[in-house]
A = this chain, B = another copy of it.
Amino acid sequence: MTDQPIDSKLNARSRIVEAARQLFFRQGYTATGMSQILKVADVRSGSLYYFFPSKAHVLRAVLETYLDLLEPNILRPAFERAADPLERLFAVLDGYRQLLQASNFELGCPIGNLALELSASHPQARPLIAENFEAWSIAITALIESFADRLPRDVRPATLARHVQATMEGAIVLARAYHSVEPFDQAMHQLRDYVERLLRDGAIQGGPSDRAAEQP
């Protein structure tokens, strides 16, 4: 339900990357052996090492795949459930909530997992991990920008997006530790309360006409 068996019609390289992706997500990078990847991908070691000189290169391919998966796996499903930008934002967050529950809290955010596991020991992977976080926060920034005129003037969309991202990542950590959505829901409740207060304070501060007249 949370990950598909690997399509045997895919070529060997794609099967390897997909198998590694699923295994790294469930078990982590270090805990996943090459032999396990070979088995799930239904490939022999000669083929794997033909495409990838080392396990670290498989990781690189997995992280590149996640860049491609952001739109179809994370953003699009959420955007189809809501039209309003603010609701789209919370629909993205709710997507992670659904995954936590559907996987019995075994799956959260694959990038967050790898960030903590590998940031110190595998510096080569760090830029790609950061790139994944950056793509996510840019997408959230774009959503926030589309209602930024209703926020207090001193709230910067990119900074607020980063805050949303941090709260999300941490909420996933807590939910997985507690095996419960309660800490996740508590964090999201306060996050929504914050955004609502920002919108109220933005409305008090002045509507769009006030802003247009604001040039000196």
Tell me which of A165, A171, A177 has the highest count of chain B C-beta atoms within 10 A of its own C-beta. A177
Q: How near does chain B come to A199, taking the closest CB pair, in angstroms?
A: 11
Tell me whether A213 is interfacial, beta carbon within 8 Å.
Answer: no
Tell me whether A84 is interfacial, beta carbon within 8 Å.
Answer: no
Tell me whether A153 is interfacial, beta carbon within 8 Å.
Answer: no
Tell me whether A48 is interfacial, beta carbon within 8 Å.
Answer: no
Tell me which of A27, A121, A126, A163 has the highest count of chain B C-beta atoms within 10 A of its own C-beta. A163
Query: Taking chain A's interface residues, is the majority helix, strand, or loop, or is none over half, making it mixed?
Result: helix
A108 to B209, CA, bound (A): 46
Q: How near does chain B come to A193, taking the closest CB pair, in angstroms?
A: 8
Contact, CB under 8 Å: A162 / B186: yes
A112-143 interface bits toward B, Cβ cutoff 8 Å, 1 = contact, 0 = none: 11011101110000100110010000000000
Q: How near does chain B come to A63, taking the closest CB pair, in angstroms?
A: 11
| Contacting residues, chain B, for A56 (C-beta < 8 A) | none
A166-191 interface bits toward B, Cβ cutoff 8 Å, 1 = contact, 0 = none: 11111111101111000110110111
| Contacting residues, chain B, for A133 (C-beta < 8 A) | 174, 177-178, 183
Contact, CB under 8 Å: B130 / A177: yes
| Contacting residues, chain B, for A158 (C-beta < 8 A) | 186
Tell me whether A39 is interfacial, beta carbon within 8 Å.
Answer: no
A113 to B129, CA, bound (A): 16
